[in-house]
Amino acid sequence: MKTRCQRCAIGALLAVTWLGSAWARPAITQASCTPAPQPLLYDCRVVLADGGQPVTAAVFTLTADMPAMPMAHHVPAVPAEPTGTAGEYRATVRLEMPGTWTLKLRVTRPAPDLLLRNIEIGAHGKPAGATSPHAGH
């Protein structure tokens, strides 16, 4: 027979275990944008994972802002589409000039979230890639 204290400890352990799994959230593990054939358009690809496993059923929009010029260069949100590779999604966005851009993913599934990643865009025609995660994502 378990004492009241033992039952409380077991309950607390179960709650922490359950909450820990509930707090898990997807993260951007890779992000890059390459020039599309049309001027100023970039094909952006992001890879999402949760606990090292690909997130295969995510629903989100992708937008971009240029942190050096707040509100001057804002890209309208476009829906991201799966590429067919587990956890990989793509969206085409218009990036008007080279520099650092922040990709913003507004996730609605598997759970509402906002994921950010800074990328560096070179002059059009030159590939660009991820430079650093933003805010730990």
Q: Domain residue spans in the chain?
A: 25-133
pLDDT, tens only, 3-51 = 665 555 555 444 433 444 444 678 999 999 999 999 899 999 999 999 9
- Compute the average pLDDT of residues 69-98: 91
| Burial per residue of 95-123, b for 16 or more beta-carbon CB atoms within 10 angstroms, e otherwise | beeebebebbbebeebeebebbbbbebee
Residue 135 burial (CB < 10 Å; 0-12/13-18/19+)? exposed
Given 3.30.200.20, 1.20.1260.10, 3.20.180.10, 2.60.40.1940, which CATH number is that of 25-133?
2.60.40.1940
119 vs 130: CA distance, rounded Å: 4
Question: pTM score > 0.85 for this model?
Answer: no
